[in-house]
Amino acid sequence: MTPAARVQSAIDLLDQIIHAAREGGAAADTIASRFFKERRYAGSGDRRAIRELAWAAIRRFGKMPETGRSAMVALADEDAALAALFTGASNAPEPISGGEPRADGSVMPKWLLPHLDARVGGRGGNAAELAALLARAPLDLRINPMRADGVDLPDGEPLPAPLNGLRLPGDTPVLQTGAYLYGAIEVQDAGSQWVSWACDVRPGQTVIDLCAGAGGKTLAIAAAMRGQGRLIACDSDRRRLQQLPPRVERAGAEGIETRLLNPGDEWDSLSDLERAADLVLVDAPCSGSGTWRRNPEARWRLTPARLARLVEQQSRLLDLAARLVRPGGTLVYAVCAITSAEGPQQLDAFLQRRNGWQVRDPLGALQPPVGRAAGRGRLLTPGHDATDGFFIGCLQAG
């Protein structure tokens, strides 16, 4: 493909991503995979260039552009080499006219800035933190101790102790390596690994992962439990929970139960576990604002109304989890988000509703501490901690 044809393809891809974001459709990565499957003529270099152009536009505009062309034209206004490719020749985008629409706005939706932690957004925002929040993410791996002995692991930078993982460039292909296929490594951001570490589980305990999804943190917890105890992975999304059993088999994990929950009536499937768990992890549904470096188009999907619904759901799940923790047990609340309402304010509201809970801070006790204090929890950000953005709160039942 010519450079100009790649630009036109990036515009076409952006149109599909914008439409999906507007209609609540598939994520940008899924859209891109389908897009390239339908265009077998595009070689690997073409696909890489098209994707980089499209993602440059997504990262640049916090407000959703009207069209892919309006976003690409706005980028071309700042890049003469890109503008020169709008020639109207075969497979090239039409020439740019001075009066045609351009995407505009900053990298972050204006309505959202006051909701972000002040060290990231707040009043005016922190330029370095915002840039890190939208920069390309590396590829982090968790080493599975149950499978790693004698296996050739990928070359990478070790993650900070006490984590047991590696960091590689973001485009490193690992899913077909022997280490991955054997289950010696799992793709997992260091922030998620810190959540699992903060759970501080022990063999023989009863542990509930209340919002397990596809089970990334469940598997990390299982490795720490070494097949001893009871581990229950729960979720209300059947499709995501069905991804866990094959991952369990590949990882060589044992003794993981799964429970599909009915949204809004979760207690019907959990009442037998009342006050029985040594630990309950609530990795709650959230805005995903901590993952924007991986999914920058998610900024276009978040609205004030959706944020309010998520905060309400998180509050309900925390109250549900509290009924499952035994006296002296631990509740870990985590969201991959950097909004104050989903993090410190959520934890404060829980402690105001419920007496007898004590705050723990395992990440703050490390030397050096991981993350920064945020109310009565810890905040991890890409700029400060080189992880996805996370809020983590640890509570002990009286």
* Residue 128 lies inside a defined structural domain of this protein: no
* Same domain? 242 vs 310: yes
**CB-CB contact of 210 with 317 (8 Å):** yes
Sign, CA dihedral 135-288-125-382, equals negative
The per-residue pLDDT for 40 is 86
Question: Token pair of 144, please?
Answer: 């599975």
* Same domain? 339 vs 312: yes
SS3 call for 366: coil
Q: Is 336 a catalytic residue?
A: yes
- Domain finish residue from 82, 105, 128: 105
3-state helix, strand, coil in the chain (%, to 5): 40, 15, 45
* Same domain? 240 vs 369: yes
Amino acid identity, residue 91?
Answer: N
* Burial of residue 356 (number of CB atoms within 10 Å: 0-12, 13-18, 19+): exposed
Helix axes of 304-322 and 344-353: crossing angle, nearest 10 degrees: 40
* Residue 127 lies inside a defined structural domain of this protein: no
* Same domain? 299 vs 172: no
Checking if the pLDDT of 261 tops 60, the result is yes
* Same domain? 168 vs 218: no
What digits encode the pLDDT tens for the residues 130-166? Answer: 889 999 999 999 999 999 999 999 999 999 999 999 9
What digits encode the pLDDT tens for the residues 341-386? Answer: 999 999 999 999 999 999 999 999 999 999 999 999 999 999 999 9
Helix residue spans in 142-285 (DSSP H): 178-182, 190-199, 216-225, 238-241, 244-251
Residue numbers of the domain that contains 84: 3-105
* Residue 131 lies inside a defined structural domain of this protein: no
* Same domain? 201 vs 155: no
* Same domain? 290 vs 273: yes
Q: How far apart are CA 379 and CA 336, in angstroms?
A: 10
Q: Which residue is catalytic, options 234, 286, 336, 394?
A: 336
* Same domain? 239 vs 252: yes
* Residue 133 lies inside a defined structural domain of this protein: no
* Residue 88 lies inside a defined structural domain of this protein: yes
* Burial of residue 276 (number of CB atoms within 10 Å: 0-12, 13-18, 19+): middle
